[in-house]
Amino acid sequence: MCRRVFTAVAIALLGSATAHAQDLEALGHRVDSLRAAAAAARVELETYRRDFPTKLHFSDSVQIADGQIVVYFNKEVAPAARDGIQEADRVLRELGTAQRRIPRLVFSVVPDTAITPYDRAATHKDMLDVRVHRVGHFNQPNRNSTNPDRASVASVILTEATRQFGPMMDEKFFRWLDAPLPLDPRLRGALQWGLLRLDIVSSQSPLGKACVLGDLRACRVFLGLDSVANPLKTWYDERGRRALVAEDQVGAQRASRAGSRQCLGGNDAACLSVLELMGLGDRAPAKAYVRQSLVVYALNLGGERSAERLVSTKGSIGGALAAAANLPVDSLITEWQRNVAQYGGSSTNLPFSIAIASLVWIAVCTFLALRSSRWR
């Protein structure tokens, strides 16, 4: 009986010891896992500190864009830096709550040490270097030499901010615009209607000329606001398709050497094939500069908070433009087209004084020519 009890106790103790050993082994594995995780966390923390230091070694800094942008500078450049930062902040405030969608950006403003004494004497001023500190290359900033004035410093900040903000907009609108969001006052100035008109009527698409002449539907299709069933056949005629291939021989040859040769030889089917391979079937005829001008016109027309309405409106490109301008999109396009047609053309009104002066000079030159010994 005692032997049985002893055996049972021994078995129980042995089982307990085995379970304890297993628990210790499991605990050891957990400790090892935690140590490995701690080591990985230290590496991640060091990487983060390197890429996102809490503070650069500058005496001052300013945060703008709802805290998404921080700019560091020292006392020697403080006046110019603060002026530029304030201007950038004023412009970015037009985005309203959409400012929060700007990825975190870090800038620093320092004297431009690359300027030589000769350059400094020629320009009579010291240039600034507005540096962009990007993730992963924080200590190797992108340098931007610029004038030490309010607009120039702000322009560097705005250029990078709008470039980073673009992908955060409505994807369809971002792809359609294919250009920086024109928030910078330098891009929002008076539109060059003459250059716009020349660009539009010089397009290989007959829709450009039709748009300038007042065809609203042509304008919508030319700008890429309306989708069409067969883009390359709708946007261009046979002559235009062949001209597009001829204009970009490098791209056409890369797409299809044989197709390019056949196209220039008069084979329109080959032109269509080459243009599809070049990706032009997904790109409306209006150039990015032309599309951007319509956005600028909408923002200027819409006034206060127009930029916020533009970037916050989802769904359609026309809807976003209409929201920015506070106008139906067809009314916006009509006003834009009227400006292109009215102010973009060359004047046919010749002042009377210039006409008389021209006639006088013609008479003088004719008289001198007849007096010449050659004509005697």
Cα–Cα distance measured from residue 15 to residue 21, given in angstroms and rounded to the nearest whole number: 10
Please give the C-alpha separations between residue 61 and each of 53, 69, 108, in angstroms, as whole numbers: 14, 10, 9
Which pairing describes strands 105-111 and 69-73: parallel, antiparallel, or unpaired?
parallel
Which pairing describes strands 137-142 and 128-134: parallel, antiparallel, or unpaired?
antiparallel
Span 310-333, pLDDT tens digits: 999 988 999 999 999 999 999 999
Residue 202: the pLDDT is 94
Q: Tell me which of 8 and 327 has the higher pLDDT.
A: 327
Helix, strand and coil content of the chain, in percent to the nearest 5, comes to 65, 10, 25
Percent of residues, the chain, with pLDDT higher than 90:
58
Span 259-302, pLDDT tens digits: 999 999 999 999 999 999 999 999 999 999 999 999 999 999 99
The answer to whether residues 71 and 107 touch, using CB atoms and an 8 Å cutoff, is yes
Highest mean pLDDT out of 202-206, 312-316, 363-367: 202-206
Residue 122 tokens read as 């020629």
Please give the C-alpha separations between residue 201 and each of 176, 197, 206, 354, in angstroms, as whole numbers: 21, 6, 8, 29
Please give the C-alpha separations between residue 77 and each of 60, 63, 126, 148, 168, in angstroms, as whole numbers: 10, 17, 10, 9, 32
Tally of CB atoms within 10 A around 324: 27
Q: Whose CA is closest to 204, among 172, 180, 238?
A: 238
Using pLDDT thresholds of 50, 70 and 90, give the confidence band for residue 46: low
Domain ranges of the chain: 60-168, 193-344
Residue 149: the pLDDT is 92
Helix segments in 52-64, DSSP class H:
none
Q: Whose CA is closest to 132, among 123, 141, 124, 140?
A: 141
Residue 376: the pLDDT is 47
Using pLDDT thresholds of 50, 70 and 90, give the confidence band for residue 345: low
159-179: burial string, b at 16+ Cβ within 10 Å, e else: bbbbebbbeebbeebbebbeb
Please give the C-alpha separations between residue 213 and each of 257, 287, 298, 333, 345, in angstroms, as whole numbers: 37, 18, 21, 13, 11
